[in-house]
Amino acid sequence: MPRMNVESFNLDHRTVSAPFVRVADVKHLPHGDVLTKYDVRFCQPNVAHLEMDAVHSIEHSFAEFARNHSDVVVDFSPMGCQTGFYLILAAQPDVPGTIELIAQTFADILNASEVPAANEVQCGWGAHHSLLGAQEAVRAMLTSKPEWAHVQEVTP
């Protein structure tokens, strides 16, 4: 297959073993800043996916709560395939530190009593959330935390 411009399109999704956290890209900007994009994969590609209302609630919750733990969070965005998220940090790659940030933020989601900004004023689809779905997904992800740094599984 020809090399694609988007890094994840060059990843053989058949060879990964979700859940995992991996560095997907590092950008060195002209003024010396560094952006690191992490693939935070919840589900095995082409096998399982997250429900959209849970994705929406994880996105809102993580985006809000992660900033309580770190001032380098730039963005937390869902993947269109609904198998995970991209986390962008204004920092050099640090998988162990990022795993701890993710785990701390997931703990916050488990302790939440509501999804932040899940209303018509602050969200484009305020009724489309599931705190329970988000909590179930992050709870399952947290049980696999010791395996997050292990990405590749098999060769097709």
Look over the chain and give the mean of its residue pLDDT values, rounded to a whole number. 95
In a domain, 11, yes or no: no
Q: What is the pTM of this model?
A: 0.95
In a domain, 98, yes or no: yes
* Domain, as residue range, for 44: 17-145
In a domain, 31, yes or no: yes
How many domains, the chain?
Answer: 1
Quote the pLDDT of residue 137: 98
pLDDT (mean) for 54-62: 98
Tell me which residue has tokens 């429900």.
51
Whether pLDDT at 153 is above 80:
no
- Contact present, 128 and 53 (Cβ < 8 Å): yes
- Quick one: pLDDT band at residue 152, thresholds 50, 70, 90? confident
- Integer CA distances (angstroms), 13 to 41, 43, 47, 86, in order: 11, 11, 10, 15
* Structure-model confidence comparison of residues 152 and 15, the more confident one: 15
In a domain, 8, yes or no: no
Residue 11 carries which DSSP code? S
- What are 71-101's pLDDT values in tens digits? 999 999 999 999 999 999 999 999 999 999 9
Domain harbouring 54, CATH code: 3.30.1360.80
Q: Output the CA angle 55-78-126, nearest 5 degrees.
A: 50
- Contact present, 34 and 91 (Cβ < 8 Å): yes
In a domain, 10, yes or no: no
Quote the pLDDT of residue 154: 53
In a domain, 151, yes or no: no
Q: Give the rounded percent of residues in the chain with a pLDDT score beyond 70.
A: 97
Whether pLDDT at 1 is above 60:
yes
pLDDT (mean) for 21-34: 97
In a domain, 49, yes or no: yes
